């Protein structure tokens, strides 16, 4: 058996096991050492496998657009997109926490992050001041494009 057969085929496959293991705790709004290590390891592996900077076409149940810069002590406006289809270069992994511990709209997710993307079917480009965050477990298909 070759080692290529054991390698993940895309950033979703690489992160999905860790994303499933990410649980909710009462300190989910505070970054923990374990989360930082997890993200660091994922980014390192993704870079080694050539995923970082690769263009991907993907479909997802949900995605979020956040400003690239914001004050964490102030409210942040973001856009939630359902049934997202997009294309763009994969930039990094991140963890998104939205809402209270429980309730409607609450999100705790390991995400694929894109600083450039074109969202279909309207061919709308992501604004230069924004980033697209797509929860790993919401992605139904992902294909590398040249």
CA distance 42 to 46: 6
Percentages of the chain per state (helix, strand, coil), in multiples of 5? 25, 40, 40
Query: Over 90: is that where the pLDDT of 35 sits?
Result: no
Q: Cα angle at 92 between 90 and 96, to 5 degrees?
A: 115
Query: Over 50: is that where the pLDDT of 108 sits?
Result: yes
Beta-carbon neighbour count of residue 60 at 10 Å? Answer: 24
Query: What is the tally of structural domains in the chain?
Result: 1
Residue 80 lies in domain:
3-144
pLDDT tier at 23 (50, 70, 90 boundaries)? low
pLDDT at 98: 80
Query: Over 70: is that where the pLDDT of 100 sits?
Result: no
pLDDT per residue as tens digits for the range 40-88: 999 999 999 999 999 999 999 999 999 999 887 888 899 999 999 999 9
* High-pLDDT (> 90) share of the chain, %: 64
pLDDT at 75: 85
């Amino acid at each position: 058996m070759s080692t290529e057969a054991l390698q993940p085929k895309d950033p979703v496959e690489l992160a999905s096991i860790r994303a499933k293991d990410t649980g909710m705790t009462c300190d989910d709004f505070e970054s923990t050492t374990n989360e930082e290590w997890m993200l660091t390891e994922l980014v390192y592996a993704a870079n080694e496998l050539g995923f970082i900077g690769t263009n991907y076409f993907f479909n997802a149940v949900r995605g979020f657009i956040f400003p690239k810069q914001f004050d964490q002590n102030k409210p942040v406006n973001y856009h939630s997109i359902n049934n997202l289809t997009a294309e763009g270069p994969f930039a990094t992994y991140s963890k998104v926490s939205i809402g209270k511990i429980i309730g409607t709209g609450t999100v705790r997710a390991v995400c694929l992050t894109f600083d450039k993307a074109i969202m279909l079917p309207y061919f709308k480009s992501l604004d230069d001041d924004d980033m697209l965050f797509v929860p790993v477990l919401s992605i139904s298909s992902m294909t590398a494009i040249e």
